[in-house]
Chains A and B, each alone.
Chain A
Amino acid sequence: GNSVTQMEGPVTLSEEAFLTINCTYTATGYPSLFWYVQYPGEGLQLLLKATKADDKGSNKGFEATYRKETTSFHLEKGSVQVSDSAVYFCALTGDYKLSFGAGTTVTVRA
C-alpha cells in the first residue's frame, strides 16, 4: 500500500535560516504529492502540490520537487520567518484518499 516517511522533528531554527524537511514515499503507480501545513489552533491547509515526476510545487517561499528516481518530495524554504512555525505534513494520493506522514513540528525563533 501507499506510505509516507517524514523526517522526525521537532525542528528549531532561527529566523532567516534555511529549512529542509525530508519526505520519501512508497506507492504503486504515479501518485500526486502534497505538503500540508497546520498552524497552531488551525486546520490542515494545502501548502503545495506536484502531480508528476520533476514537477516543482511552490507557495509562500516553500518549494518541493517530485523526484521519482529517489521517491522523494523534500520541502525547502530559503529564509524562514517566525510565522512559519507550524506542523508540516507530507502526503500522497494515488486515487482519492490521502496517506500522510507523521508530521514535523517546526519552531522558528526570532
Chain B
Amino acid sequence: DTGVSQDPRHKITKRGQNVTFRCDPISEHNRLYWYRQTLGQGPEFLTYFQNEAQLEKSRLLSDRFSAERPKGSFSTLEIQRTEQGDSAMYLCASSSRTGVTEAFFGQGTRLTVV
C-alpha cells in the first residue's frame, strides 16, 4: 500500500453538472477525511468517517455535497449541480484510530467548474 490515492487528479466540468470523486485510503486506516483547499488558503475540513459511519459534516458542506464510505473502505464525494464556487482542490486523508491523529493525505482532485 503506497498511500492515499485519489481519482481523478483533475476534473473540468460545466456548471450544473454532477461530479464524483473517489478516495482510497491506506488500507489499515479506519478514519477518512475530506478537505477542500482553495488558492492561497489552507485545507478546510468538510467531513469525517470512522469506518462506514459519517460522524461529522462541516457547515461548509451544502446539501449539494454528499459523501459515502460503503463498507468502511474507499469513499466517494459527489457534488450535484456544480457551481463556479465549487472550483477547488478536494483532498482526502486517512488516519488510524490509535495514537496521535496523524493524517496522511492524497494528492487531491482539482475541480474546475466552467
Contact = CB atoms under 8 A, between A and B. Distances in A.
Interface in A33-75: 34, 36, 42-46, 49, 51
Contacts of A43: 4, 91, 105-108
Interface in B78-114: 91, 93, 95, 100-108
B101 A103 contact: no
Most buried by A among B105, B106, B107: B105
B43 interface: yes
B45 A97 contact: yes
Nearest to A34: B102
A19 B33 CA distance: 31
Interface residues of B, number: 24
Given A96-B31, A97-B33, A46 B104 contact: yes
B28 interface: no
B58 to A, nearest CB: 9
B100 to A, nearest CB: 5
Q: 3 closest A-B pairs (Cβ-Cβ)?
A: A100-B42, A43-B107, A44-B105
Interface of A: 4, 6, 32, 34, 36, 42-46, 49, 51, 89, 91, 93, 95-103
